[in-house]
Each structure stands twice: as structure tokens, then as C-alpha cells.
Chain A
């Protein structure tokens, strides 16, 4: 077990890679009673094409299957559901699936070690039958319909669909009515056996926890499984063209204020820098131009074009970054025109750069008081960078204006797609 300080945050990370490949990360907090544990597989909505464990041919599974699998993991062979045990111990449990990961979690004050054993056990014991798979379809379809009625979610999904051509992120993690209907228990087992091997998974525990006892418990539990480390997973490869799938789309919904989004598809293949660092630079520049500290926002709010700041999102793909700007406005065409105009010049001053650095550092320190935020930061770091960042503040301080200028001079914001939702007018 390794112990390393996260400099500047007064926190220590205990970590170990077990013989079966499972990675464990623990951050003890001295000031809290609660403990939060997350158990994650590097498997999400993006992974629909792969060679199943023990097979030789690449297969395509129905879209939405990673999320479906997450739902089904809670069902146990004895007919109970995994929530029950946590609830009986006064803990709260849940799970979620994103494009790159599926995470099972619980938080609680008492019975931590028993809850942890339960988390490991149920995630490691799939039980799928034709009947329980069929039963879940109605529930998930209602979850899909709930998202379909949410205009913000529709803009987000619409921008991804229209930006991308081949990349699996084009499609929603949850799937569609049709794809969910076609999922079988055999599909689920193939996905489970391929992606839920310990060498593809990691645990992050934050809060009131003793790292020595906890790692021993996990080690003992995992040793009993007798699984060998490192299994290579072969995923489908996607060559994503530079152009967008569709330049513009409009939709009508039963809403009152139009929602609009623009997604820039930026090729970063030739930028010799960590992709996530490139994303940070680009988002920081765009944010400086459009956020509440900008003259742009002040002008837009005085003209009644924006009443809340735009939302920014940056998604890192293989050779591209998709930067989304989402807004609610009564004048979508004028807002888009103004955004495009504003972003023609992404140069920022040294003062603006320093402000962004100060803001990021303070956010890091503020988050380090919170076991949920620290757990989430650690997870993102492992998923995106493949490692824990032990000196986040120094890392932020290394961002510099020279590098920023170099990056913005090499990106192109002429390649974008627009998605707009307008109110449905009664005839």
C-alpha cells in the first residue's frame, strides 16, 4: 500500500493495485463521520463494439446496454435487491452510467466494512434471467421518456448526435425504446464478463475510513475470487471525420423560452499536449469571453438576450474536442450571431489568465472539504488521466499564457452545429 500527500489540500491518498488488477484509492478525512465508496468499471455508453471475453469476433451490442446492465446489477439471485442491505444499515446507495464509466456507490456512517463487502459482492455477482431482463424494459423506457421531455437534455443529445458521425458518443448512453427492447440476458452476460473484470475496475473511498483495515478487507475479499490480473479488452475503433453530421436542426416542444446550443467540433490531433489540458485551455478562454465577468454577458443581459449565463461543456474524444455552449434565450439567432462574433478573437489578458488560475485553485481547495467532490475528482482523474494528480495546485499554476496563445492560434471554430428548440405555438 502506498501513501502519498495531495499537496496543498492537507489530504493523503492510500493506494494499492491488487494482484487481480483492481485498483484501490482511499482518502481518509479526519473531520467527518460519513464515508463514501464508489466502485467503477471503465465501461460506459461508448463501448458497444468489442470482442467479448473468450471470443474472437468483434460484436455490436444494442445501444444503452451499459446503463441497462447497471440497473440489473441490483437484482440478486435470492430474489432480493442490493439496495435492501444498504438500507437496513442506514446507508444510501445508487449507481450511474456515463459514456466512459459505470459507477456503483454508497454512503453511510455505520457498518462501513459490511456495506463495503456488500458493494463488492453484489457488483461481482450478476444474475440475469429472461424474466428479470424483460421486466426492466418498461422501467428504462419510462426513464428515456422522462429525458425526452427535458429540453436541456434534448439540446445536449441533439448537439452530440449532429456533431458526430462515427463515434459512439453520438448516441445517448440510455439508448432508445427500440435498442432497449432488443437487449437479452446473453448480451448482458457478454458485456459483464468482458468489462467487469477487476483489472478494468477501481474503488475510491473517501471519508471516515481506516485505510489499513479497509485495504486488507478488499484484498482478502478479492483474493477469494481467484482471478488473474490484466485481461486485454479489444474495443471497436472509430475514425471520426472532421466535419459535422448535420449543421443545424430545429425542434418544437411544449416550452416557453427557446433553448439553443452550439457545438464546435475542434480537431486537436496536431496539438502536442495532454488532451484534457487542451480542453481546459479552450474552455477557460471561451469562459473568459462569455461568463459573468465578461462585457459580452453584461451587454447580452442589458439587451434582454440572456438572463442567465451560458453553460459550457467540453468533451474530449480521440482526435477532437467538442465544445458546447448552451443557453436559454428569447432571441436565439441574435445570441448565436453575437457568440460567434465574440469568439472570433480568443485572446485574453494576463490579468484574465491569472484570475482564471486563482479561481481554479480556490475551487480545488474548497472541494477538498467535501468527501463527495473529492471522490468525484479522483475518479475523473483516474478515468481521464489514468492516474491521481498529487499536486493539483502546482499543476494549475503551470498553465501559462504562452501555451494558451499557442493553442488558440491552432484551433478552428468554423466547424460547428446548432440545435434549437422553439416553443410549440397553438394554431
Chain B
């Protein structure tokens, strides 16, 4: 495997040559500091840029072109990672060994066409295309309310960290969507191309002249702003957690418990916290799974997860509302047990083994290899070989110290108000 990073003056190009796979993947990322007013614009671009282009003026024509290119796939997403919003456009396609000569260039050209030649008329996005994409985003926004877990997690974050980036719905609001026009969206697109930090990652059995092909075909003028850290530090901590309840007409209630991370260093974020989280609630041998589900039969699903970039974490479980107090008390007790060191050396050993096992297989596919270099670029992560050594140094004392920096903040219950026996016809 050979990795080369180059700067073209407008973007960073990361080429990763690895011969053992049939697929090649390429991702183009646009990164900008998070701004809640831009959520809907970025989500709109996420849809409209892969819906059509000047050359392929509808999804139908574009889809037909992808099949001609041996069923090439195109993906996009718009996410927030800590302080930054990231718009990603990816393509994956078969290497020429399984298709025909010339397909490599044609395949990468398609994604460049979509990004560099949007379907624009008179300095604004084509109105018909704009409306189609606006409808898609509108339905995404309104149907996101249909998912009880999503509603509960957002409800928790709004109460726990008001006005912090995590408290904004990452899909946007109808109110903001209705303010977007084809002209404003095109202006925003130009701003993205000009001011966002751009990285291109390409991984797979790529030709030796990949770099020059890309530099020749992907030409943009960009200000090349320097990136800062993605990590957000929490500063508001409560002495006593708060409880909130809202209701929804569903059968099952969703229990969430949010906590904040106080004053942790990078080693704790990257190595101690994952071990802590594994023991607390990241799998079927976790404390939460064993106690709340297996021993007390209070739920089917329960897990904890931590977002180091936002300095928060949460526990989520689907429960019967009558068991709310029992579940809450058990979760609080298990968090307290972690602080008191009530876990064994075997628990630590198992957690570290699982962490290591995940690392051993990161070189098993082109996307996951690409992800390694994306993490290094964005979050200054260590390479897997370094991670393997560092995680092995995590001790019980380190985990207890981290547990003391976990501050329970908010318990939020999305209460299912529909009786289990009752149906609405």
C-alpha cells in the first residue's frame, strides 16, 4: 500500500494505492466551520449536486449513465463533526481489470462533472430541479419526526446543551428550507467551492498517473483556509441532573440519559473513553446490557455511545414507560459503579481486545482504508499501528479517572402514550 498526500494550492489530494481489491473509491470533502443557518443549504447541496448536472439534466439520465459505467455508485452526505460541517461526495466503481480500458478516467470524471458543473441556468439552479430537490429535503425533514429514537435523542440534546452545535437538528427546519431560493443556493454553492477546505481521497487499484489525471480534471479556485481542531469543549456542568418528559403516540417509550465529558485530554478521548464505553454499554457483554436487559428484562435494546468531538455521551433504551424509574436508577447506578471501579480486569482486557479487533480489519476494504486517512487529516488521529500500541496501555486507574469526569446532565423520556393493546383505525 502506498499513500501520498499532495497540496495543489486549492485542495489536498490523498492517493492510496492498494492492489488487492476489485473496487476503487473516491471521496471529495468540503469542510467549513459549523453555522446553524447553513445546515439546510448544505443538506440541499448534498441532494441537488448528485441529482443532476449540466450534462445529465435529470436523475434518470444520470442513473442511466452510471449503469453504462458498469454500475458505478454515487453517494453523498452532509454531517457535522464537532466544530465543522462536512459535505462528502463519493463514488465507487470497479477497477479496469473487471470492466474495460478507459473506465477509470470516465468514472472519476462523472463525479467531477456533478460537482463542478451543476445544472444552473442564468446564475441560479434550474428551477424544476430545485423544486424536485426541495421536495426531497422537505420530506426528509418532516419524516424525521416519525423516528421515535431520533426525536428522543434530539430532545435530550436540546435540553442538555442548548445553543451548542449538537442541539440543532442536523437535517434542518422547514422554516429555513422555505427561505432558500435557486439563486441563494447557487451563491452558497460558489461559496463552498471557494472557501471550504477541500480534500480528495482516492483508494484502490489506481493507475500510476492518478494524481495528474485528477489535477487535470478537477480544477477549482479555493482560498485554502487552514483547519482548526474539531473538538468542542463543554463548560456548563450541573450539580444535579434534570428530568424531562415529552409524549408521542407510539407504543414503546424511548429512554435517554445524557452526560458531559469534563476536562479530558486527547489520550483519554481516543483510548480510555472507548474502553470505558465498551464496558458500560457498547455491546452484549456490557454492564447496561447485562443488568437492564438480561437480568431485569426491562428492554430489548440498550446501549451507550460517546461523541468525543462534542464532549457528550448518552444512553438510549426502548422501554415500557412504567419502568422509567427502574431503568433510570439502574443506569445511574451503573455509571456510579464505573466511577467506583466496580469492573474487573477481565472487563478491561475484553474491551481492549474488541478495540484491537476493530483495528486489525481496517485494511479489509477500500472505504475503510480511505477512512483511516480521512481521520488522520481531520482529527489528527493516530495510524492504526500506533493506536494498537497506545490502547494496550490503558489501565483501571485511567478508566476510573475518566469515569470521574463523566457528568450526568439530563434524563429525557419520550413517553409512548399508545396503549400496547390499542390500535387506531
Contact = CB atoms under 8 A, between A and B. Distances in A.
Interface of A: 10, 30-34, 81, 83-84, 87-93, 108-110, 135-140, 142-143, 145-146, 148-149, 151, 177, 250-257, 291-295, 297-298, 301-302, 304, 307-308, 328, 330, 355, 358-359, 362-363, 365-366, 368-371, 424
A88 B294 CA distance: 18
B98 interface: yes
A151 B22 CA distance: 38
A34 B364 contact: yes
Nearest to A299: B60
B92 to A, nearest CB: 8
Nearest to B354: A90
B299 interface: yes
Contact of A298 (B58, B285, B301): B58
B128 interface: yes
Nearest to B204: A369
5 contacts: A83-B284, A92-B283, A142-B319, A252-B425, A424-B249
Given A148-B251, A298-B58, A328-B143, A366 B284 contact: no
A87 B354 contact: yes
A5 to B, nearest CB: 16
Nearest to B423: A251
Contact of B146 (A257, A358, A365): A257
Which of B143, B299, B301, B364 has the most C-beta atoms of chain A within 10 angstroms of its own C-beta?
B364
B357 A355 contact: no
B178 interface: no
Contacts of B425: 250-252
A362 B71 contact: yes
A88 B350 contact: yes
B139 A307 contact: yes
Nearest to B71: A362
A363 B71 CA distance: 7
A63 B21 CA distance: 44
A307 B300 contact: no
B60 A294 contact: yes
Given A88-B353, A151-B146, A307-B139, A298 B251 contact: no
B243 interface: no
B267 to A, nearest CB: 21
B416 A149 contact: yes
Pick the 10 closest A-B CB pairs, nearest first.
A90-B357, A138-B297, A362-B71, A90-B353, A31-B20, A254-B249, A109-B360, A143-B300, A34-B361, A83-B284
Contact of A358 (B70, B142, B143, B420): B70
A355 B146 contact: no
B300 A140 contact: yes
B59 A301 contact: yes
Nearest to A135: B297
A31 B368 CA distance: 14
Interface string B13-26: 00000001111000
Contacts of A368: 22
Nearest to A294: B60
A10 to B, nearest CB: 8
A291 to B, nearest CB: 8
B10 interface: no
Interface in B337-383: 346, 349-350, 353-354, 356-357, 360-361, 363-366
Query: Per DSSP, are chain A's interface residues mostly helix, strand or loop, or mixed?
Result: mixed
A292 B63 contact: yes
A146 B67 contact: no
Which of B136, B139, B319, B320 has the most C-beta atoms of chain A within 10 angstroms of its own C-beta?
B139
Contacts of A295: 60
Nearest to A250: B425
Contact of A308 (B131, B136, B354): B136
A108 B357 contact: yes
B352 to A, nearest CB: 8
Nearest to B145: A256
B317 to A, nearest CB: 9
A198 B97 CA distance: 41
A305 B425 CA distance: 24
Interface string B260-297: 00000000000000000000000111000000011001
Contacts of A31: 20-21, 364
B136 A252 contact: no
Given A33-B363, A177-B420, A369-B21, A90 B285 contact: no
Contacts of A358: 67, 70-71
Interface in B172-220: none
Nearest to A422: B424
B60 A302 contact: no
B32 interface: no
Given A83-B285, A84-B285, A301 B249 contact: no
B361 A109 contact: yes
A292 B60 contact: yes
B357 A110 contact: yes
Contacts of B248: 254
A87 B143 contact: no
B64 interface: yes
Given A81-B284, A293-B67, A90 B136 contact: no
A291 B66 CA distance: 14
A91 B94 CA distance: 30
A87 B285 contact: yes
A60 B249 CA distance: 35
Contacts of A369: 21-23, 365-366
A91 B293 CA distance: 21
Given A139-B293, A256-B146, A301-B132, A90 B356 contact: yes
Contacts of A135: 294, 297
Contacts of A108: 357
B13 to A, nearest CB: 24
A413 B60 CA distance: 26
Contacts of B364: 31-34, 371
B142 A142 contact: no
A143 to B, nearest CB: 4
Contacts of A291: 63
Contacts of B284: 81, 83, 87, 93
A362 B424 contact: no
Contacts of B357: 90-92, 108-110
Nearest to B360: A109
Given A34-B364, A138-B298, A358-B67, 18 more contacts: A34-B360, A87-B283, A87-B284, A87-B350, A90-B357, A136-B297, A146-B301, A177-B420, A254-B418, A257-B143, A298-B59, A307-B136, A307-B138, A328-B139, A330-B139, A355-B64, A362-B70, A369-B22
A293 B320 contact: no
B251 A81 contact: no
Contacts of B63: 291-293
A283 B287 CA distance: 46
A30 B19 CA distance: 12
A120 B23 CA distance: 34
